[in-house]
Amino acid sequence: MSDVSMSPGEMAEEARRWTEGELPAGGLIDAPDAVPRAKESMQINIRLPRQMVEILKEFARRSGIGYQVLMKRWLDERIREERERLRREQERLRRERERERHPAIIKLTSPTFFSQTAGFDASAVSDLAAAAEG
């Protein structure tokens, strides 16, 4: 793979040669490093309904990518979502088990009681009655 950009004329010539089946001057070389994570990838075959593939291709076209790239992105997103959902569920179950083992303790404070009773001075009332009459 070359880092040098080709001019439009060079690209047209390259396309013509490939179309006519001519091999490049330098020959072909195996370049597994050119494919991202090629060693980590696994080829699979899957049968999908024709209409589903057509829909995928249309979504991919609108996104400006290939439909297989779109499928990989969607699968990756879904796997991440499911992994996060599973992590949240496991955390919820862990908290439940923790609460069952160590129930919350609610401390109630005792109300304050006063042992002194209220006093009543009857003489003060009689003075009020006399003041009201006079």
pLDDT digits (tens, 9 = 90+) for 97-130: 988 888 778 777 777 766 666 676 766 666 666 6
49 within some domain: yes
Kindly report the pTM of this predicted structure. Answer: 0.47
Give me the pLDDT at residue 1, please: 41
30 within some domain: yes
Cα separation, 131 vs 116, whole angstroms: 31
34 DSSP 8-state letter: G
* Domain tally, the chain: 1
pLDDT band per the 50, 70, 90 thresholds, residue 49: very high
- Structural domain for 73, as ranges: 8-102
127 within some domain: no
107 within some domain: no
19 within some domain: yes
97 within some domain: yes
13 within some domain: yes
Among the listed residues 89, 91, 48, the one whose alpha carbon sits nearest the alpha carbon of residue 68? 48
90 within some domain: yes
102 DSSP 8-state letter: S
CB 27 within 8 A of CB 38: no
pLDDT digits (tens, 9 = 90+) for 51-84: 999 999 999 999 999 999 999 999 999 999 999 9
